[in-house]
Chain A
Amino acid sequence: MSSETLAPPLCLPPRTVSSLQRSRQRMAWLLVAPSLLVLLAIAGLPLLRTFWMSLSDAQLADLSSRQFVGLANYIGDSGVLNDPEWWGAVRNTLWFALMSVGMETVLGLGIALMLNHPSRLKTLLRAAVLVPWAIPTVVSAKMWSWMLHDQFGVINAMLLALGLIGEPLAWTADPDLAFVTIVLVDVWKTTPFMALLILAALQMVPSDCYEAARVDGVPTWSVFLNLTLPLITPAVLVAMIFRTLDALRVFDLIYVMTSNSRTTKSMSVYVREQMIDFQLVGYGSAAATLLFLLIALITLCYMALARRRMEGH
């Protein structure tokens, strides 16, 4: 890790070397300073202010006239932790993350294996797979809303024509269907990312491993289960953590496709609704803080894992 340091020129006496290095380190801090200051100003400070506001009864119309209310927004009788709708949002978000990341991983692995398969259509396939990824989430939400329209949607028309359903389904309005619909649209949009990350891992498996297995006549499925899978698992896990963190803050898709439906509301949608629509900035900040703590916990676990991996190298 330290090998990329500039080696000091050999002809200089040792004292000059160390002062040269010291000035280089000082310069490094100067170079990092602008990025750090920007991040402190737009992320660190607002985060602290959000914590602070979560202890007050701030309203959106006038943020300055607020009173300290302690933990009332959290544990008070009408606090977040006593709001069944909050717990509904927590449940929705966790289910959403679990289902969508799970499906993406399986599909992504399949598509990655296809992208890794020698074929003349490889470039076409990669290009096609990148299309859903390049489409803005809001656009993808609108496109699917149109395709899944209960009266004029092409999906209902196709399923009816195939005889798979007897009558048109209200994909986004029916409480039983809306959640699954949201998950499927998310899977469509984010599987490419997963596939590309897994593909990168697949390409790092040394080819002589496959060569040896082939010479020994090991069947393909056994090579995959016993050689490929163990070798790519760490990278797949990292990709899953990235996607899980992403899925836990889901907002755009749900806001656009089912806006205020209680059955699909995620934690982010809940927070914004409290803060902006109901103007309850203090209360909303308390919910935001809880969401932050959940994600911070997962991030810390990931970092511990990453550090162990880095030290293992």
Chain B
Amino acid sequence: MKRLTWTDALYWLALPLVLLFALFPFVYAIASSFKRGNALFSSDFWPQAWSAANYVAVFAEQPFGQNLLNSVLVAGGVVALSLTVSLLAAYALGRVTFRGRGLLMMTILGVSMFPQVAILSGLFELITWLGLYDSLWALVLSDLIFTLPFTVWVLVTFMRELPKELEEAALMDGAGVLTVIFRIFLPLLWPAVAATSLLAFIAAWNEFLFALTFTLSGEQRTVPVAIALISGASSYELPWGNIMAASVIVTVPLIVLVLIFQRHIVSGLTAGAVKG
């Protein structure tokens, strides 16, 4: 009964192209990461002999394990700090009417649109003054600049949608504001909080400019900097196998997390952007 319209035809024509366009680069990176030595320069797509040598080499030739740990610590710390602080602010901004609220929201949004490089010298000065240069704390502190405004905005959107009866009942029973936020709202907001945390985690995990500028030693680097600075004997002899292996290690956990939470991520992203 249903006949094939030209939109359907177009859809089925475009679908394989989009899938190829989206997936090919990463699949190719995986394939390359398992090629050893000269096989990397052959034209085969999949390796003829699968080898984990590149993965071993990444950890042997630089403190990559330490770099991974650094990234986990920095991104985890950034998420914990921005969530705690922004849950408080989101409650006030989402559920209490007070003078200056609109201006505050706009200011916070403004900060999130900040070019990071515009505060690089001021932040460099602050960090050396605090004695945090070449330490992970410098990165935790500076990453808050973009995660905090984002988590505040997204959480405000979700806080607004919670029924006020719940809050009234709790307040009548003599519960304090902190109890309302952390004991009553937080469990209800759990999917939104999970998605927001994941987005903030990804942003901090991927951050490059601050990590490149505020750390010096190989042991303090986060993974994006470590990958960017993997070098060979000359710029024409980059160890591409190692670079691809490191890239796969760094990316696979992100992709898995994103796919698990994809529904929530889409709502988190759009809450932060469209509804604003």
Contacts and interface: CB of A to CB of B under 8 A. Distances in A.
B118 A288 contact: yes
Contacts of A144: 25
A159 to B, nearest CB: 13
Interface string B158-189: 00100010011001100001000000000000
A146 B244 contact: yes
Contacts of A272: 117, 120, 209, 213
B57 interface: no
A134 B270 contact: no
Contacts of A220: 5-7
A4 B160 CA distance: 7
Interface residue SS majority, chain A? helix
B22 interface: yes
Contact of A147 (B25, B92, B145, B276): B25
A49 B274 contact: no
A165 interface: no
Given A6-B167, A35-B85, A147-B28, A129 B18 contact: yes
A32 B23 contact: no
Contacts of B108: 35, 39
B26 interface: yes
Contact of B266 (A132, A196, A275): A196
Contacts of B29: 143, 146
Interface stretch (A75-83, A98-106, A175-183, A241-249): A241-249
Contacts of B243: 142, 146
Contacts of B227: 138-139, 142
Residue with the greatest number of chain A CB neighbours at <10 A, chosen from B11, B21, B43, B125: B125
A245 B14 CA distance: 30
Most chain A C-beta atoms within 10 Å of own C-beta, residue among B22, B85, B94, B148 = B22
A135 B251 contact: yes
Contacts of B45: 154
A227 B272 CA distance: 26
